Structure 1
Amino acid sequence: MTISQSHFGQSLSYINKHRSFYPSSRTIIVTGATAGIGLAVAEHLLRSSEQHLLVLTGRNADVLREFHSRYPDRVITEAGDMSDLEFVSAIAQTIQLEGRLDGLVLNHGTMGSCFRIGQMEVEDWENTFRVNVTSCVAMIQSALPLLRASHGRIVLTSSGAATNGYSAWGAYGATKAAINHLAMTLKNEEPEVTTVSIRPGVVDTAMQGDIREKFLKNMDEKDQIKFSTLKKDGKLLPPYKPGEVIAELAINAEKDLSGLFLR
């Protein structure tokens, strides 16, 4: 899969003119931007009076087209599969960013097949890691030269599952633990870049719907009860709550947060 749109606005000169007119504008890539938390991140950044420029990726091409129709000069969109590492690497390399990328929000992810380890196909485990971890590494690698130059920020959407061993969540939880370790490693290896991972809480997204409708049977009874009643009991967070926090971290995260797993 290739990137079909290579620059903001109607010409290659648009981005520099925009940055001159809006000096507080930031250029940010957001993955998983077509639903849930990622959608909330994108909406929050686009509402800002600072007129941020966004590169948005996700699986829902209709949502991406809507973004582009509303913000034709400020948004570059591309639907794609984050297990396609060639596509992932091309996002930061192919688009004309004129030497600057200020933020990278890596919000995409999959629960995988949600089987217990003794039942799971190894290929399912491997694919979950490819989407949730390897694709993040691929995108970070391609974006690092620009992020170093801007003293930019990377925000990784993690999960409480990184530190809780839920039955049937082994692959998902392991990937989120790996994401947290990735943030810690980048703190040491890339001191010019601020990298944080964030636990967004239990959020009312499609993932929670899949847990209730598809995966409960594979979980322990106590977890079945917990996750089957969260929505009914009004205990799920609306996506905009963590979404706005993540968006602000992509712009303003302080250096002393680098490497941390934030709640």
Structure 2
Amino acid sequence: MTNQSLHRVNPPATTKPVAVITGASAGLGLELSRELARRGWRLVLTARGPDRLARAAAELGELTEVASRPGSVVDDDHRAELAHAAAEFGGADLLVNNASTLAGFDLEGAPMPSLAQFPLVGLLETFEVNVLGPLALTQLVLPQLRRKRGRIINVSSDAAVEAYPGWGGYGASKAALDHASAILAQEEPNVTVWAVDPGDMNTRMHAEAEPGVDLSSLRRPAAVVPAFTRLLDESPASGRYRAADLLKEED
């Protein structure tokens, strides 16, 4: 296998939980990885950009054991590498399907396309990255999660339930992921499955979706992480959760 790195601080400790996190080099994925690293979780991280992922792995490797694997969740061999890396750590306790694409192609400063103008190849990739990739990775990691009565977090969006012009491809893919999450929860009683809407955030991805829009009033990803850690700490039933609700109840 190529382009792999492993940062070890201490020898493996089987009591330390293991998380597999996609889209982990920036935004919400990176901030959640930081928090789990501070809590002593061992991490299997992936993202498409090898340089940013390497920087994230080096930073987090100062706190915990990190296996980083750059690549795309739509790649069969890459998903197998992630599952294998988790198995080498003793098996995943948590899978975070965070990696997403807005339109399946580079928007290059343009707004998100309407459904009437959405290139079909881009729509196909949107569903591959946002739905098929997470489900395929889940299939590979499920045997580990079943053994450990683990958890799955599928990162959703308010666009999955609200009709925003220009967000049709992304929203439809997240709605599909929500529904798949609900069915998976029914089919896998020994695994907790949460679909989590983090709400609007001030991220590079959001800026690409709405070029020129001032996002400074929106929460940064680090401010949303407590909603996710609350789920991990309290372990409520499978279901769809909004970060805004979890944060409100915490205040």
> What TM-score do the two structures reach when normalised by structure 1?
0.80
Distance 1:169 1:68, change over 3 A: closer
Contact map agreement 2:86 2:92 (CA 8 A) in 1: no
Which residue of the other structure, out of 143, 148, 162, is the alignment partner of 1:150? 148
Structure 2 partner of 1:182: 180
Q: Distance in 1 between matches of 2:184 and 2:233?
A: 18
1:69 Cα deviation (Å)? 2.8
Distance 1:123 1:3, change over 3 A: same
Structure 1 partner of 2:217: 235
Structure 2 partner of 1:254: 235
Contact map agreement 1:2 1:90 (CA 8 A) in 2: no
User: What is the number of equivalent residue pairs in this alignment?
Assistant: 234
1:60 is aligned to 2:49: yes
1:194 is aligned to 2:176: no
Identity of aligned residues (%): 31
1:42 Cα deviation (Å)? 0.6
Contact map agreement 2:102 2:170 (CA 8 A) in 1: yes
Query: Where do residues 1-263 of structure 1 align in structure 2 (5 Å cutoff)?
Result: 4=4, 9=8, 14-15=11-12, 18-19=13-14, 23=15, 25-48=16-39, 51-70=40-59, 71=61, 74-97=65-88, 99-112=90-103, 114-213=112-211, 228-229=213-214, 231=215, 234-249=216-231, 251-252=232-233, 254-256=235-237, 258-263=238-243
Letter of the 1:125 counterpart: L
Q: Distance in 2 between matches of 1:109 and 1:243?
A: 17
- Please tell me whether Structure 1 or Structure 2 has the larger radius of gyration of its CA atoms: 1
Q: Distance in 1 between matches of 2:144 and 2:89?
A: 9
- Misfit runs of 4+, over 6 Å: none
Please say which of residues 35-44 and 85-94 is displaced more in the overlay: 85-94
Structure 2 partner of 1:223: none
Q: Distance in 2 between matches of 1:150 and 1:54?
A: 16
Letter of the 1:254 counterpart: S
Letter of the 1:245 counterpart: A
SS in 2 for 1:260: strand
Q: Which runs of 5 or more structure 2 residues have no equivalent in the other structure?
A: 106-111, 244-251
Q: Distance in 2 between matches of 1:248 and 1:93?
A: 28
Q: Once superposed, what is the RMSD of the aligned Cα atoms? A: 2.4
Distance 1:118 1:41, change over 3 A: same
CA displacement 1:138-161 (0-9 Å, x = unmatched): 110000000000000000110000
